[in-house]
Amino acid sequence: MPAPAAPGPRPLFPLRSVVLGAFVPSFVFDVGVGAMLPVVARTATDLGADLAAAGLLAALVPVGQILADLPAGALAARLGDRVAMLVAGVVAAVAFAGAALAPHLATLALAVLAVGAAAAVFNLARHSYLTEITPPLQRARVLSTLAGVHRVGQFVGPFAGALAIQLGGVRAAYWLGAGAAVVATVTVAVVRDDDGAPVAARRRAAGPADAGPGGLARPTVWSVLCDHRALFTTLGIACVLVGAVRGARQTVIPLWAEHLGLDPAVTSVLFGVAAASTCCCSTRPARSWTAGAGCGSACRPCCSWAWRLCGCRSRTTPSPSARRPCCWGWATGWGRASS
């Protein structure tokens, strides 16, 4: 009787558990977030806020992410990664709808804050999920690919939002985000692991959630902060400062476009131009400027198409200053990718 054939090597990106279970939901979710980010400031000004208050409202997305980062880890550990992604998707869909229907600034602020918190939970849970199901020797490539999927979603989102704004107005960008959150949630709910064993079940079989290796109690957040305080006060501060510079694009570009009186669809295109350079250059941040020019040539057809789609309309008389944010947005995205 012939011996059974040895099982083949595990594919790097299993279709069901990795591609459909993590990459596709992440891409769709990030498209929705990318469609919302450029129009928060415009929605705030439409509701009566000045530019300072509009900038504060736009900054509530990263504020929500910061506030939810630590609870997100506890939620994913207690409920499981997939359940946490489902909860975050539902919360994000409700928050997008609330922003679309917001009658005043307080409602818009709560909705934007909830979107940021939901994005933090979704992002952390998908990282934890992929780390759990991916063999150690493949984790670096899988997680780096997930980062690329995230950037591509943030690149596609503003252009999709520009199209939605052209068809249905500024609030249509929020409805696009709500639809994207629903699609991502349904995909996570439908797709199962390849081996049929949920991640939460494997974790329960491995031991209680509060037990670490060797049966020792897991470290708390405070103990980690105390044990690694030298690292957090040096490299951590540097990471905070770099993150502040990288995150300025989300607020500065929409505010400057609003100051110039640009159309919301054009603002989304400018936002997408900066995201395009980030998306193209992040895979090879150490390349020369010549290679970067090649990345720019690759993105030019898409950006030019979106610019013509929006008609480069402005609420004021067109001037050379109305075209400067495009170049500035591209430079901002380049610096963001290289940092």
Instruction: Round to whole Å and give the CA distance between 338 and 327.
Output: 17
Rounded to 5 degrees, what are φ and ψ at 217? -70, 140
Segments making up each domain of the chain, as ranges: 16-195+216-338
CB 32 within 8 A of CB 92: yes
pLDDT at residue 73, as a whole number: 79
Do the Cβ atoms of 267 and 254 come closer than 8 Å?
yes
pTM for the model: 0.74
Which tokens go with 267?
A: 């603002």
- Indicate the DSSP class of residue 312: T
User: Under CATH, to which class is 16-195+216-338 assigned?
Assistant: mainly alpha
Q: Which residue has the tokens 């990718």?
A: 337
pLDDT at 12: 57
217 pairs with which residues across the strands?
Answer: 211
Query: What are the tokens at 27?
Result: 């891409």
Q: What is the mean pLDDT of each run of 10 residues along the chain (339 residues)?
A: 51 69 90 92 91 89 85 83 91 95 93 94 88 82 85 91 92 94 93 56 48 58 83 87 77 86 88 78 44 43 47 45 47 46
- The SS3 call for residue 338 is helix
pLDDT recorded at residue 236? 86
